[in-house]
Structure 1
Amino acid sequence: MTGVAITGLGVVTCHGSGTRALWDAMMAAPVTDPGPVPDPYANMDVPVVQGVADADLPAESLALARTSRMALAAVDEAVADAGLPLGGPASGPRLGLALGTCMGDAGLHEQWRADGGKPVARFTSEIAVAAEIAERLGPLSVATTISNACAAGGFALGAAADLVRSGEADVALAVGSDAYSRVMLACFNRMGAVDPVRCRPFDRHRRGTSFGEAAGALVVESVEHARARGATVYGTVEGSGWTCDAYHLTAPEPAGTQIIRAMRAALEQTGAGRERIGCVLPHGTGTQLNDVVESRALHEVLGAGVPLYSLKALIGHTGGAAAAVAAVAAALILRHRTVPPNVPVAEQDPECQVWLPQGRATPLGSDRIMVNGYAFGGNNVSLVLAGTGALAEAGALAEAGTPAGATA
């Protein structure tokens, strides 16, 4: 598979706005407990979330719902990072957009119901996030919304890369964004799947997941297009694998057959062996079955010696944004060639035989990272991101115009 260059990154999480804020939090590995949701109608057992501060969102987007506001914050940073000229095909590259989200701007409608269903001046669809991004960017060659639950952000990155490979766009943005939703959090409460402490993936005492708000954006384009405009390259989207096990509405298939297939498909597209994966950002939600199934699948596909970086332990489970934000984190790990220390695990589950480096950073041993995203309905995605070292192996580093020692 032809690698598609990653030339811009943007992110907002509970730790602040921007890739620097995320990287600093990753390196510090703080234990961050979720806080109460600012919602008087959240009548549920565990009404908590790791929320994004209003101060970290664009001031001019105050009239928009939170998912759109967060998406715009991430997109603005990614576009600026990539040095993209905007204004449409007449003045710049043909832009494409693939957005991943679970709930979109459902918060608008939840508030509307809470206010008694009073008439509103402007109707906004709960899946209008892509439209808000398009309004910011100008005319797009294609815009699509992917909403297959918590794998949506990963599928969006794969779709954006395909838009570039197919020639439907010169440059594409992959965006994942999800804000607090009363309905979503209440549903997980009803299932008894919310951890009252925090998100504790692979911890023996985990009691479910814990949600966070976030948005992540990546700018992708062909290596040749990046070279022609002198863009800096973080790495490439080198492989992707999409599967669906269709086993159960909410539970993963116990043997992890299709999870394994997705990882192997992504790896095979790179043409590299499993020993070339230097780190994995797992889906790792903190739910009992998911963590065990993924641990066994990772062991079968990659063996036991690959370090994992468990992002959800730091920022919570961010729904449809999760895999997109993880891809941003993976690109930063590739750029710094460092696997940050994981948020401390009190007692690792003996059924989860994975390596979670803690206490200090670990050098990245190889120039490829796997990102996993799984979702209700059995939707699975695995992505392999390759660093500039892999580009050098392919003889493309000099063409891309990226200095070998570039840093973020």
Structure 2
Amino acid sequence: MVDVVITGLGAASRLGIGVDALSRGMAEVRYAPPEPIADPGARVPVPLFYRLPDEQLPPGPDEALGLPVGRANLLALDSARQATRSARLVPDPDTRVSVLIGSSVADVHVVERWRTDGYPQRSRWVPVFSAASAIAADLGADGGAVSLSNACSGSGYALAIGADMIAAGETDVVVAGGMETYSRVALACFNRLGALDPNGIRPFDRHRAGSILAEGAGCLVLESAEHAHRRGAPVLARLLGSGWSCDGHHATAPDPTGTQIARAMRAALDDAGATPDDIDFLVPHGTGTERNDATESVAMATVFGDRLAKIPLYSLKALIGHTGGASAALAVAAAVLFCQQGWLPPNVPVAEPDPDCPVLLPADRTPLPGRTGMVNAYAFGGNNMSLIVAGGE
């Protein structure tokens, strides 16, 4: 069995650019209420969105990469560069490097802006889902570049597929992750669905009323433990296993029985050679919508039984919002940090826990009995993904 390890991390969220910004923001519980998006075309009841300040955006890429200067692509490219730097990954003709990037809408906001403001006659057309190929060009990667669009679990699938490629000997190193930024159409769609909470995102709260969309990106470097050891790379954590399912219950609503979500979690445990008793913490999908949180709670109770009430959860979206296709990668990056430090940071306090969601969300820093965690990521259409992360060497 091939031991797949994580050797590099990169992140961008409303907390700032870089993994250190993510780590500090979680440790200090840097909560901030979402603000209305500065878009006169966003005529919607709930115009709230988490966005990085413009001055924090990384510089644009070289024109030779053929990358449209869109915010998601900028963040994805910068996160990939962060991850490869931390992994000490340098171009090597004998190393096959592949890139997999998940996103829901990528940089479609570029096209949306053209529609309202006019097409820039001097700009050539480029596809908005181009980050994977641009990152591959930037890294000199020749092992393949793939864009995934499994909605909000896209980067989870990118990580799982990347691990499978390494285990199958199809590539040596994978840069996998996801990206998301503001889209006027996406914001309108979530408003139309009634899936946004005007009071902010409140996962597992009794009075939760929806999610808050957010900008972000996350990338991780995966490789076999043998390959990492051979090149002297740091081993930050291990990706022990993954499991997925697709219930196809509804275009947007989860199957309320949670059957296929539980199946994905069990499959991840089986793939990792683990049992529910081996899990020390959970990073749930936890979008703050009434149905998602209730369904995920049912599924977790099915898998973990009465022990669920004793396993600490960390609700990342309560702090940084729902970063769509980037959310799973950022959650796994957070899980890697938890495995390294041996404790969970305080959660954003839940004002009134929902009795139908019997989960443990500590409001204080919580020591971990071990260093194995499960990360859940779900998406429209029933795209369910669970991943198991454990401490490194």
**C-alpha separation in 1, matches of 2:112 and 2:163:** 34
1:31·1:344 contact (CA, 8 Å) conserved in 2? no
Q: Do residues 74 (structure 1) and 76 (structure 2) align?
A: no
**C-alpha separation in 1, matches of 2:88 and 2:12:** 19
Residue 193 (structure 1) aligns with: 195
**C-alpha separation in 2, matches of 1:301 and 1:9:** 29
**C-alpha separation in 2, matches of 1:123 and 1:131:** 15
Residue 149 (structure 1) aligns with: 151
Residue 2 (structure 1) aligns with: 2
| CA positional deviation for 1:198 | 1.3
**C-alpha separation in 2, matches of 1:134 and 1:4:** 21
**C-alpha separation in 2, matches of 1:348 and 1:332:** 26
| CA positional deviation for 1:30 | 2.9
Q: Do residues 357 (structure 1) and 359 (structure 2) align?
A: no
Post-superposition Cα deviations, 1:25-76, rounded to whole Å, max 9, x if no partner, equal 1111133111121222111111111112233332133961011001012111
2:60·2:74 contact (CA, 8 Å) conserved in 1? no
Post-superposition Cα deviations, 1:272-324, rounded to whole Å, max 9, x if no partner, equal 22111011000000000110010111112123221100000010000011101
**C-alpha separation in 2, matches of 1:170 and 1:134:** 14
**C-alpha separation in 2, matches of 1:40 and 1:372:** 35
**C-alpha separation in 2, matches of 1:156 and 1:35:** 31
Residue 90 (structure 2) aligns with: 85
**C-alpha separation in 1, matches of 2:54 and 2:227:** 36
Residue 98 (structure 2) aligns with: 96
**C-alpha separation in 2, matches of 1:227 and 1:55:** 38
**C-alpha separation in 1, matches of 2:77 and 2:141:** 16
**C-alpha separation in 2, matches of 1:205 and 1:171:** 44
**C-alpha separation in 2, matches of 1:5 and 1:194:** 36
Code of the residue aligned with 1:105 in structure 2: it is D
Give the aligned CA root-mean-square deviation in angstroms.
Answer: 1.4
Residue 369 (structure 1) aligns with: 373
Residue 42 (structure 2) aligns with: 42
Post-superposition Cα deviations, 1:143-164, rounded to whole Å, max 9, x if no partner, equal 1111011110100110111121
**C-alpha separation in 2, matches of 1:367 and 1:272:** 13
1:202·1:284 contact (CA, 8 Å) conserved in 2? yes
Runs of 4+ more than 6 Å apart: none
User: SS state of the match for residue 205, structure 1?
Assistant: coil
**C-alpha separation in 1, matches of 2:141 and 2:151:** 27
Mapping of residues 121-270 of structure 1, within 5 Å: 121-270=123-272
2:103·2:151 contact (CA, 8 Å) conserved in 1? yes
1:36·1:47 contact (CA, 8 Å) conserved in 2? yes
Gaps of 5+ in 2: 63-67
2:374·2:389 contact (CA, 8 Å) conserved in 1? yes
| CA positional deviation for 1:118 | 5.1
TM (normalized to structure 2)?
0.95
**C-alpha separation in 2, matches of 1:84 and 1:22:** 22
| CA positional deviation for 1:166 | 1.6
Residue 65 (structure 2) aligns with: none
1:29·1:344 contact (CA, 8 Å) conserved in 2? no
| CA positional deviation for 1:84 | 0.5
User: SS state of the match for residue 25, structure 1?
Assistant: helix
**C-alpha separation in 2, matches of 1:30 and 1:347:** 20
Residue 328 (structure 1) aligns with: 333
Residue 58 (structure 1) aligns with: 58
**C-alpha separation in 1, matches of 2:61 and 2:43:** 28
Gaps of 5+ in 1: 389-396, 398-408
Percent identity of the aligned residues?
A: 48
Code of the residue aligned with 1:281 in structure 2: it is V
1:105·1:129 contact (CA, 8 Å) conserved in 2? no
User: SS state of the match for residue 378, structure 2?
Assistant: strand
**C-alpha separation in 2, matches of 1:296 and 1:139:** 42
| Number of equivalences | 385
Code of the residue aligned with 2:159 in structure 1: it is L
Code of the residue aligned with 2:57 in structure 1: it is L
Of the three residues 362, 376, 382, the one matched with 1:378 is 382
TM (normalized to structure 1)?
0.92
